[in-house]
Amino acid sequence: MNEPPPSRIVELEACPRLPRGVRLVHNEAQGGFVLLAPERVFKADAIAAEILKRCTGEASVAAIVDELATAYSAPRERVLADVTALIGSLADKRLLEL
């Protein structure tokens, strides 16, 4: 099934955070970071994990993008697209609060 289009626009000022009942953990046996959610488990690749680690409710989307673009010497537009796509998709799955 294709994912429906995002139901919201991710604002740059929003400060995303993992809601209660959603946890990002590192698991040796599963070989990396996983996002634990109600009856669902998602393996997070390295980039997703770096984004999710910063979703603490304190940093804004803009700040997260700036930080990642600097840390990885990546073009800001590219990072912005990645970050907003992931955050929007997870918010629609109720895995992230904006």
Partner 1 sequence: MPSIGAALSRPLGLLAELTHRCPLGCPYCSNPLALEGRAEELDAATWARVFNEAAALGVLQVHLSGGEPAARRDLADITAAARQAGLYSNLITSAVGLTAKTFAALVDAGLDHVQISIQDSEPKSADHIAGYGGGFARKQALAAEVVRHGLPLTVNAVIHRANIDRVSALVELALSLGASRVEIAHVQYYGWALKNRATLMPTRAQVDRAVAAVDALRARHHGRIVIDAVVPDYYAKYPKPCVGGWGRRSLNVTPSGRVLPCHAAESIPGLEFWSVRDHALEEIWTSSPAFQAFRGEDWMAEPCASCPRRTEDFGGCRCQAFALTGDARATDPVCHLSPRHSLVEALAEEREDADYIYRR
**What is d(CA 6, CA 85) in angstroms, rounded to the nearest whole number?**
9
Site residue total, partner 1 (CB under 8 A): 37
Closest separation between CB of residue 3 and partner 1, Å? 10
**What is d(CA 38, CA 16) in angstroms, rounded to the nearest whole number?**
18
The answer to whether 67 contacts partner 1 (rule: CB under 8 A) is no
Secondary structure class of 78 (helix, strand, coil): helix
The answer to whether 55 contacts partner 1 (rule: CB under 8 A) is no
Q: Interface mask (CB under 8 A) for partner 1, residues 30-49, using x and -?
A: x---xxxxxx-xxxxx-xx-
E strand map for the chain: 23-27, 32-37, 40-44
The answer to whether 91 contacts partner 1 (rule: CB under 8 A) is yes
